[in-house]
Amino acid sequence: MSTQTMTRPTTNYVVRDSVTMLRRNLLHWVRYPSLAIMLVAQPIAFLLLFVYVFGGTMGAGLPGVSGGDRSDYLVFITPGILIMAVASVALGTAIEVAMDMTGGIIARFRTMDIAKVSVLTGHVLGAVAKTLLAVAVTLAFAMLLGYRSEAGLVDWLTAFALLVLMAFAMTWLTVGMGLAADSVETASNTPIFLVMLPFLSSGFVPTEEMPWGLRQFAEHQPFTPMIDSLRAVTSGADPGMDLWLALGWCVLIAAIGYLWSRRLFTKVPTK
């Protein structure tokens, strides 16, 4: 029977199809830059707000820094702001995926002999590339405001690797949200908690200052070890246990997001 002679493993094309889909995804950003601009502007707006509105008072209250000021606070919040940039791009991915799902082209992809998951990996790889861009722009902005780091090249490479891993994990989760959403509006709302969670972490104030219940939450939620290890790495210090915790969270979130998204996408609908 022809089944035998014609069957070839589709997996051979996972990489090629993913690259094709990545190119498609990046081209969307070039052709439709307003979403990209909004997402990159968001962390920068928070940076300006926190440094110039709250920075003076907050800097003075930082523990372990006597006579802290606005520039000390800038150093303190930069890791949190960078992670907000990651979350912000991840949120954009949920919107992009949902927009994609409303168009007829996905039906076309589904009737083609392509590596199915490549439709999603294109979005994830695209998001990682955009995250690097967003992080670089945000960091440049922070430096413009006076941010300086004592960390060396290896530390910064570690920091970027960590940010890429976070982008990877958060994006698989938001891809799932984009697939699960019944409209583009829903897709733009559900991931908002990702942008809000850094506020309830060690990102903007030390957790010791928080009331007991909130402090428990802040100290045990995934963003805190991510921000703490990023803060340690970017100041040339040893992140210690936090780095392992952060890596663990990233792997866990990526695995859940990937399996969830794949299930949502590859299941042949019965209705």
Q: CB of residue 129 vs another protein: minimum separation in angstroms?
A: 17
CB of 85 to another protein, least distance (A): 24
Buried b (16+ CB within 10 A) or exposed e, 55-80: beebbeebeeeeebebeebbbbbbbb
Contact assessment for residue 124 and residue 171, using Cβ atoms and an 8 Å cutoff: yes
Cα pseudo-dihedral 247, 250, 255, 256, rounded to 10: 140
Q: How many CB atoms lie within 10 A of CB 178?
A: 30
Q: For the chain, how many residues are written?
A: 271
Name the residue nearer to another protein (CB basis): 66 or 270.
270
CB of 123 to another protein, least distance (A): 14
Which CB, 17 or 242, lies closer to another protein?
Answer: 17
Residue 107, judged by CB atoms within 10 A of its CB (0-12, 13-18, 19+), counts as: exposed
Element (H, E) at 14: helix 14-31
The nearer residue to another protein, 24 or 262, going by C-beta atoms, is 24
As measured in angstroms, the least distance from the Cβ of 193 to another protein is: 23
Nearest by Cα to 83 from 17, 170, 186: 170
Q: For residue 84, what are its two tokens?
A: 């907000």
- Rounded Cα–Cα distance for residues 141 and 48 (Å): 9
Tell me whether residue 84 or residue 97 sits nearer to another protein (CB atom): 97
Q: Does residue 110 contact residue 53 with C-beta atoms inside 8 Å?
A: no
The residue ranges that bind another protein (CB under 8 A) are: 1-3, 6-7, 10, 13, 16-17, 20, 23-24, 27-28, 31-32, 101-114, 179, 264, 268-271
Nearer to another protein, 45 or 259 (CB): 259
Which is nearer to another protein, 87 or 119 (by Cβ)?
119
> Which CB, 153 or 268, lies closer to another protein?
268
* Nearest distance in Å: CB 172, another protein: 18
Q: Cα–Cα distances in Å, from 262 out to 4, 119, 135, 172, 258?
A: 27, 10, 28, 10, 6
- Name the minimum Å distance from CB 175 to another protein: 13
3-state secondary structure of 115: coil
